[in-house]
Structure 1
Amino acid sequence: MKRFISLSSIVYLTVLITGCNAQQKNSKEIMKNKEAISAFYQKALTVNKDTRPTAVLTRLMAEGYQSFNSTGSKGAKELMRQLEFFWKLIPDLKWETQQIINDGDKFVVRSIATGTPNGDFMGLPTNGSKSFKIMTIDIHTMKDGKFVSTNHIEDWATAMQQLKSKSSSDETMKVAMDFMGAIGKGDMKKMVSLMHDDMVWHNEGDKSMPWIGPWKGKKTILEKFLPEFGSNFKTIKWEPNDALSKGDTAAFFGNMIGELTKTGKQTEEFTYALRVKVKDGKVILWNWFEDSYAVSKAYHNK
């Protein structure tokens, strides 16, 4: 018994086979593009020992490639130079892909970028002590395993916020207050930890009083000034009333009473001013201004 295949069946089979071939080809294209995207994030954006951004991007970028953001665009060579610079500036730069969404030749990639810059980062001085962690979104147009174009956005504003220290004025005030508190409590360990190696302790006043400075260097202050001052002057009252800071400098104003151990005589209550400078989180200048006449009178028992 002969069997006949209708024309419609032949057409259906042809369409089915053609569709399968197209689907297979499309799947291969998608896989090829995803492999290129993986290499882009793992081998060009992320610092590693095996590759360099320029070498990776040279084989991944299509001719005429452009990268677009809210301020303009750059070509492949500009992108290569930027990434080479980033690798030096951010030696632990890492770009971790979180999600990829594909629609035709478009691939949307959501990533997390992290790093610890050491140098000028977009105009912000950094020293490798702070890191950033931000979200990034890229929309890549791909063709045959190559990048045709990229539209991207990174949350650099958050990165800058994360990298910024607290206000330098706030940091200065905190260090100065901590040092002052350690003095008040007699906490030598804390004091020593907050003293810069090049610290200067400068008390103005009657040069015949043995603790009048300046005293230069942490070692000198600890071994000579503090014992000399401690054996000659006893603080009866020390009351800061006002304080302000700007940048690396803090100033304090208040009232105090002292007793001179040489004579056992107390000063009358007098006002003082204190200028403090902080460097690298430590006190580098402790500049004391007081009614040195009142102190001198008590010291000389006048």
Structure 2
Amino acid sequence: MTTIEAVNNKAALRRFHEAVSTGDAEIISKTIDEVVHPDVLIRTPLPIATTGTQAMKEVLAVLHRAFPDINVHIEDVIAEGDKVVTRNTVTGTHQGEYMGIAPTGRSITYKEILIARFAEGRIAETWAVVDVLSQMRQLGVFPAP
């Protein structure tokens, strides 16, 4: 990957996270259509049958129903080869059903790492590691350590 490609890919992933943080479904959908390949491979196990950008839009819709004020703060961005990695801190207030948990009104903060492989300037494949245990503890499902 050239320096210009690395800069452009990093900017595209930042743009994706910024769109998610707007909470605006139209902006999120438009941004996904522009920066994500339609047949993106999502390597994180998901409890849905759809694939590609439609799966990504569904997952984000679920998150926004559960945490309407969700915000992704990028801590680090690293580019190597055709991949860009972001280490993020995510915050939100639990105001809708999430993973079978009724709204608690609690604010949560958790960490995630997203790896995106780029092809032709668009996100073609993703892997995400989300601290779900931290989410569950903060929502009262599991006791805090």
TM-score, structure 2 normalization: 0.85
| Cα distance, 1:90 vs structure 2 | 1.2
Alignment pair present for 1:26 and 2:8:
no
Any idea what SS the aligned residue of 1:124 has?
Answer: coil
Structure having greater relative contact order (Cα 8 Å, sep ≥ 6): 2
Q: CA RMSD in A?
A: 2.5
| Cα distance, 1:109 vs structure 2 | 1.2
Residue identity in the other structure for 1:61: V
Q: Who is 2:122 aligned against?
A: 146
Alignment pair present for 1:112 and 2:89:
yes
Q: Who is 1:38 aligned against?
A: 14
Post-superposition CA distance 1:146-202 (Å, at most 9, x none):
1010011101121111011798xxxxxxxxxxxxxxxxxxxxxxxxxxxxxxxxxxx
Aligned 8 A contact 1:113 1:133 in 2: yes
Aligned length: 141
TM-score, structure 1 normalization: 0.43
| Cα distance, 1:116 vs structure 2 | 0.6
Aligned 8 A contact 1:29 1:145 in 2: yes
Q: Point out the structure with max Rg over C-alpha.
A: 1
Residue identity in the other structure for 2:30: A
Alignment pair present for 1:93 and 2:59:
no
Residue identity in the other structure for 2:102: P
Any idea what SS the aligned residue of 1:110 has?
Answer: strand
**Structure 1: distance between partners of 2:79 and 2:139:** 34
Q: Who is 1:79 aligned against?
A: 56
Aligned 8 A contact 2:90 2:109 in 1: yes
Q: Cα–Cα, structure 1 residues 83 and 162, in superposed 2: closer, same or farther, change >3 Å?
A: same
Taking the TM superposition and a 5 Å limit, the aligned residue runs for 1:159-170 are 159-164=135-140
| Cα distance, 1:49 vs structure 2 | 5.4
* Unpaired runs of at least 5, structure 2: none
Q: Who is 1:62 aligned against?
A: 37
Residue identity in the other structure for 1:59: E
| Cα distance, 1:85 vs structure 2 | 2.9
Post-superposition CA distance 1:242-268 (Å, at most 9, x none):
xxxxxxxxxxxxxxxxxxxxxxxxxxx
**Structure 2: distance between partners of 1:136 and 1:71:** 16
Post-superposition CA distance 1:17-63 (Å, at most 9, x none):
xxxxxxxx8122112111111111111x2134595321110111113
Residue identity in the other structure for 1:66: L
